[in-house]
Structure formats: C-alpha cells, structure tokens
C-alpha cells in the first residue's frame, strides 16, 4: 500500500489497538508536550488512538492515556447505529469557557468502571489543529463541551477524579492502588515507567 502523505487514505492503512494506562500509573499526571507539526507519524497516532477508543469503547481519548505524552486527542460522540463522526485535535487549548456550568456523570478509560458527577463550564471554545495541520476552532456545549474539557485536562496531567472532593478522590486512588498491588503479587506485572 502506498504511503499517503496527505492523510486522505488513512482509514485504508493498518491501525493498531494500543494499551490504555490506568490509575495509579504516574504517567497520567504528566503534562503532555506540544506537537511540532502534523505529519504522517502524528496521523498514525491519531488513527491508532481512534481505533483504541472505539475498541474500549469510549467517546474520547488523550494520547497520554496510551502512554504518548503529546497534546493529541480523539473524540467521537456518535451513538450506536449512527455514522461515525470522529474529531481529531492536535495541540487543543480551551480559549474561553462560560460562567454557566453543567454537571455530567463522567467516566474515564483510565479509571475503569468508576463514574461520578463533575461540574464544568457548560460551554467552551477550543482552538486546535486538525489531522491536516490546519487551524480550527470549535464552539461547544453540552456533552461535547464536557468531553473536550475532560480530554484536554488529561493533556495537563489532570484526571476527572481530581475534580472530586478529597475524600472521594482518595477513595478511588486507594482502590486502584490496591488493585495494582494485587496484580503485582499474583502475576509479577508492574506498571511501566516512561
């Protein structure tokens, strides 16, 4: 298959399902680095992330969740039975948020099977580069605004449980730390660093 330098044949290239890191992996607290330019390597990461997100399944994924400390996000809010509508965001940044807030029950692929109410600005404006490296702006409300803020938080080393009360956050962290210790004892598995 020829290399598609323009990114137009992306869905015809082989995609990979990546491992999603979970609490208490310390990489989830890293601040991700900007992307120097959108090229074939970045598009490959975007495609692999999208495939991983669909497989999980989830509606959003930040590159750090698959161990890549780059400012890259994929999102798709389409429902089952609807056509896929992926968003690819490189170097996204929230440039405006509303004073009005909404509360959604959030979950996270890096905090599996834990959900809690998180209050965030109801609307936001995000600037980013698309998969072709072109500057874009999205004005979002509702679930898209929440998802954008959740994923961009990941790029800044913030997990959704960081928005919870200290008591709730400590309870979740303790649970996942205990599970990780049990995995180490039973299998010899250790979370990788890096």
CATH number at residue 20: 3.90.45.10
What does the pLDDT average to over 59-76?
Answer: 98
In 24-141, the DSSP E strands lie at 60-62, 72-75, 87-97, 101-108, 111-121, 123-129, 135-141
Share of the chain above pLDDT 90, in %: 78
pLDDT band at 55 (very low <50, low <70, confident <90, very high): very high
Q: Tell me, yes or no, whether 191 lies in a domain.
A: no
Measured CA distances, 16 to 66, 70, 162 (Å): 12, 18, 30
The domain in which residue 56 lies consists of: 10-185
Q: Tell me, yes or no, whether 4 lies in a domain.
A: no
Q: Tell me, yes or no, whether 146 lies in a domain.
A: yes
- The pTM of the full predicted model, rounded to 2 decimals, is 0.85
- Token representation of residue 149: 């803020």
Closest C-alpha to 155, from 50, 47, 32, 38: 32
CB 28 within 8 A of CB 157: yes
- Residue 52, pLDDT above cutoff 80: yes
Q: Tell me, yes or no, whether 1 lies in a domain.
A: no
What does the pLDDT average to over 67-80?
Answer: 96
Q: Tell me, yes or no, whether 50 lies in a domain.
A: yes
Q: Tell me, yes or no, whether 108 lies in a domain.
A: yes
Per the listing, tokens 């990461």 go with 45
Q: How many CA atoms lie within 13 Å of 176's alpha carbon, on the beta-carbon side?
A: 18
Active site residues: 151
Q: Which helix (H) or strand (E) holds 50?
A: helix 40-55
- pLDDT score recorded for residue 188: 54
- Number of domains observed in the structure of the chain: 1
Closest C-alpha to 18, from 68, 66, 72: 66
User: What count of other Cβ atoms lies within 10 Å of the Cβ of residue 28?
Assistant: 21
Q: Tell me, yes or no, whether 5 lies in a domain.
A: no
Q: Tell me, yes or no, whether 20 lies in a domain.
A: yes
């Amino acid at each position: 298959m020829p290399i598609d330098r323009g990114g137009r044949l992306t869905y015809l290239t082989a995609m990979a399902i990546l491992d999603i890191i979970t609490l208490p992996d310390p990489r989830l607290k890293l601040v991700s680095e900007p992307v120097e330019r959108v090229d074939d390597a970045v598009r490959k990461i975007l495609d692999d992330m999208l495939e991983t997100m669909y497989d999980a399944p989830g509606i959003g994924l930040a590159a750090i969740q698959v161990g890549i400390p780059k400012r890259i996000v994929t999102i798709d809010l389409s429902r089952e039975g609807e056509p896929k509508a992926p968003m690819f965001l490189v170097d996204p940044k929230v440039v405006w948020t509303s004073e009005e807030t909404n509360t959604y029950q959030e979950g996270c692929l890096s905090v599996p099977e834990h959900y809690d109410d998180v209050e965030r600005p109801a609307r936001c404006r995000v600037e980013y580069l698309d998969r072709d490296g072109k500057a874009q702006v999205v004005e979002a409300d509702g679930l898209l605004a929440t998802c954008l803020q959740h994923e961009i938080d990941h790029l800044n080393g913030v997990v959704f449980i960081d928005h919870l009360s200290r008591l709730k956050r400590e309870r979740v962290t303790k649970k996942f730390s205990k599970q990780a210790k049990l995995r180490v004892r039973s299998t010899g598995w250790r979370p990788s660093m890096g």
